[in-house]
Copies of this chain bind each other. A is one copy, B any other.
Amino acid sequence: MHTKFLPRPAVSLVTTSRSPQAGAGSLPAGEPRLLHAEVVDRLRDRIVRGELAPETKLNERVLCQELGISRTPLREALKYLASEGLVQLLPNRGAVVAALEPGRIKQMFVVMGALEALAGELACANASDADIAEIRAMHYQMVAHYARGELADYFRYNQLIHMKLVESGGNGVLAQSYRSLNAHVKRARYMANLSKERWDKAVEEHEAILDALVKRDSTRLKALLQDHLGNKMVVVMEALAGNEPGKP
């Protein structure tokens, strides 16, 4: 697998032009977006998508050139991502993309199970009818993509549904915790090749989940979510076991 960075010609995030050498600012900017925050989002995205593979060394000079910024905001972003657990800081030796240890991912699934169960409970109790209608709409979108075999779009709606479900319980802390763990797990999922059978089953499970939510059947929803997540865990863990039997 490639670990080399693409020689992108430093498209540069700098738009607000606060830098000493820069010439002219432009956008009126309703809300100032700081560089480190932008970099956090970009790097997190690249890590989650697997473009920055686990254990990739993050060379500051290279990243700075790619992003068209100086080391200061980059290093701030790395600290932020380290706190999220997506980056590991090695004192005096820089930063690397966090490893994807199967044991740790499994632990994350267990915790996410507890969070999703709680989320299901809260959603049944607190979700508005509009929330549920939105989830139903996303569900049908997802099923449509499934029918057409469009995996990427299926995944996207799948994620949207799970996030919306978690959010509609009205507990922002829960949503935040879930999102954070989910980012880690998503990294692993990019390796997992969904089998046709598993895909079929996952859609079935989603049908049942939607049904339980509509009926606000908390007990059943919790059980279904647990089951769904458990199955997903199996798939991901298998993929993970297959993709790194021995680290070279």
Contact = CB atoms under 8 A, between A and B. Distances in A.
Contacts of A37: 89, 91
Contacts of A31: 91
Nearest to A82: B80
Given A91-B32, A111-B115, A172 B104 contact: yes
Nearest to A36: B79
B32 A107 contact: no
A138 interface: no
A79 B79 CA distance: 7
A150 interface: no
B118 A114 contact: yes
B107 A173 contact: yes
Among A32, A36, A37, A107, which residue has the most Cβ atoms of chain B within 10 A? Answer: A107
A84 B79 CA distance: 11
B171 A111 contact: yes
Contacts of A80: 79-80, 82-83
A34 interface: yes
Contact of A111 (B82, B84, B107, B174): B174
B107 A172 contact: yes
A36 to B, nearest CB: 6
A2 interface: no
Interface in A176-220: 176-177, 181
Contacts of A79: 36, 76-77, 79-80, 83
Interface in A118-142: 118, 122
Contact of A33 (B77, B83, B91, B181): B91
9 contacts: A31-B91, A36-B79, A37-B89, A76-B76, A80-B82, A85-B176, A104-B172, A104-B173, A177-B181
Q: Which 5 A-B pairs have the closest CB atoms?
A: A83-B83, A107-B173, A114-B118, A32-B91, A76-B79
